[in-house]
Structure 1
């Protein structure tokens, strides 16, 4: 089925541009393959858009989801600060000491 005129054409130049924006190096074979793949994806989205109507509700899952976790119940197994810190390699004034991850102290 041909692409609808409203969908953008995916060309090798478009794929090259997208790869530059994403900072991904692609070979010519990959560009050719992705041009075809992305063109098919755009075409399929256009087909779905043609049949999507306001009377059909949008869904993210075909069946309803439910929480499978147990209820959150407070128990008696609460650690004290001393117990929680007992295995810490380093602590200071009742707190865990960890190395900076941003390269500078805040």
Structure 2
């Protein structure tokens, strides 16, 4: 996969990439925007596939109803992929060190809100 502008998600228009800290845990956040709902939706699943090929998954959590999020825990990192349908956007949150899904879920809302504020 070729990375545009040294980023992880090679699709859409980059809206922001940031390193943030929430409760002493460090994360890399990337947000991309698409012109249409359909482009965002199809790109979300391409990124899901790429993440699933990252390595052996240790744990995970998914929204099986409408696929708004997919959280993957690997031995060396955790990745949370968020799909914002009304905004035609995708957000990737990647821990900068090993992190359990259970630990991440305690900070999940704060991480997402912090990341959203950086894009405005």
- Give the structure-1-normalised TM-score: 0.25
Higher relative contact order (CA 8 A, sep 6+): 2
Structure holding more helix per residue: 1
- Give the structure-2-normalised TM-score: 0.23
Structure holding more strand per residue: 2
